[in-house]
Amino acid sequence: MPEMYFHVRWPDGSAERCYSPSLVIGDHLKPGERYAVADFVGRCETALTEASQRVQHKFGYFCSSATDQLASIHATARRFEHDPEARVEVESFSPGSR
């Protein structure tokens, strides 16, 4: 299954390389776009859930790495939940090679 990394910059300037077990992330996020934190989290939830379901369909089990990545995104996003102006920038995508 083709995997992908999506590189993001959080509102405090910190960068994170995030993992998706499927290219479906590209249907929900676009490089160069900035998203309100809640919107970014929602898009990631949708994409990573769909990606994990694709893994389950192909291999018979959900992708724990997608679940772990989503938990990490939620944890980081909580730091910015009180700032309605906070934005997450999707900087780029890169091919996966775990």
The per-residue pLDDT for range 68-86, each reduced to its tens digit, is 999 999 999 999 999 999 9
Residues 6 or more apart in contact with residue 62 via CB below 8 angstroms? 52, 53, 55, 56
Return the pLDDT at 1.
Answer: 64
In the predicted model, what is the mean pLDDT of residues 3-15?
97
Biggest CA pair distance of the chain = 41
- Using 50, 70 and 90 to split pLDDT, how confident is the model at 61? confident
Q: What is the mean pLDDT of the chain?
A: 94
State how beta strands 34-36 and 4-9 pair: unpaired
Quote the pTM value: 0.93
56 against 69, higher pLDDT: 69
pLDDT at position 97 over 80:
no
Q: Measured between alpha carbons, how far apart are the two ends of the chain, in Å?
A: 12
Neighbours of 22 (CB within 10 A): 23
Domain boundaries, the chain: 4-95
